[in-house]
Amino acid sequence: MMFLLFCSLSVAFAIAWLGYRRSSIAVFLFSLAFAVVWFLHHVTSHINIDL
Amino acid sequence: MGSILFSRRAARVLNVLDVFGIAFILVMAFAFQIIMKDLPCPLCLLQRFGFLAMGFGSALNLLYGFRASHYALSIVASIYTAFVALRQIALHVVPGTGGYGPEFLGLHLYTWVFIIANLAVLYLCFVMSFAEQYQRHVRVNGHNGFLRKLGKVGIGLLFILVLLNALGVYFECGFGQCPENPTSYIH
CB B84 within 8 A of CB B46: yes
* Residue B87 touches partner A, C-beta closer than 8 Å: yes
In a domain, A50, yes or no: no
The answer for B 9-68 residues in CB contact with A (under 8 A) is: 42-43, 45-46, 49-50, 52-53, 56, 59-60, 63-64
User: Stretch A15-38: mean pLDDT, rounded?
Assistant: 96
CA distances from B25 to B3, B110, B127 (A): 32, 12, 21
Q: Does the pLDDT value for residue A12 go beyond 80?
A: yes
CA distance B139 to B99: 54
Q: In this predicted model, which residue has the larger pLDDT, B95 or A21?
A: A21
Q: What is the DSSP string of B55-102?
A: HHHHHHHHHH---HHHHHHHHHHHHHHHHHHHHHHHHH-STTS---S-
Q: Does the pLDDT value for residue B140 go beyond 50?
A: no
Query: For residue A33, what are the domain limits?
Result: 2-44
CA distance B16 to B18: 5
Residues in A touching B69 (Cβ below 8 Å): 25
In a domain, A13, yes or no: yes
Q: Could you report the per-residue pLDDT of B74-126, keeping only the tens digit for each? A: 999 999 999 999 999 998 888 877 777 778 888 899 999 999 999 999 999 99
Please name the residues in contact with B141: beta carbons below 8 A apart, sequence gap of 6 or more.
B8, B9
Provide the shortest C-alpha distance from residue B107 to chain A (in Å): 23
pLDDT confidence bin for A46, thresholds 50/70/90: confident
CATH 3.90.1010 for domain B8-173: no
When CB atoms are compared, the residue of B42, B56, B158 closest to A2 is: B42
CA distance B145 to B52: 25
pLDDT value, residue B96:
79
In a domain, A7, yes or no: yes
Q: Does the pLDDT value for residue B142 go beyond 60?
A: no
User: Stretch A20-44: mean pLDDT, rounded?
Assistant: 94
Residues in B touching A28 (Cβ below 8 Å): 53, 56, 73
Q: Does the pLDDT value for residue B15 go beyond 80?
A: yes
Q: Does the pLDDT value for residue A14 go beyond 70?
A: yes
Q: Could you report the per-residue pLDDT of B18-49, keeping only the tens digit for each? A: 999 999 999 999 988 888 888 888 999 999 99
Q: Could you report the per-residue pLDDT of B64-77, keeping only the tens digit for each? A: 999 999 999 999 99
When CB atoms are compared, the residue of A6, A28, A35 closest to B56 is: A28
Partners of residue B104 on adjacent β-strands: B107
Minimum CA–CA partner of A18 in chain B: B63
In a domain, A8, yes or no: yes
CB B121 within 8 A of CB B79: yes
CA distance B124 to B74: 8
Q: Does the pLDDT value for residue B11 go beyond 60?
A: yes
- Split into its structural domains, chain A has a count of 1
Provide the shortest C-alpha distance from residue B99 to chain A (in Å): 17
CB B55 within 8 A of CB B18: yes
Q: Does the pLDDT value for residue B3 go beyond 60?
A: no
Q: Is the CB of B166 less than 8 angstroms away from the CB of A21? A: no
CB-hemisphere CA count at 13 Å for A36? 11
CA distance B72 to B94: 34
In a domain, A17, yes or no: yes
CA distance B4 to B182: 51
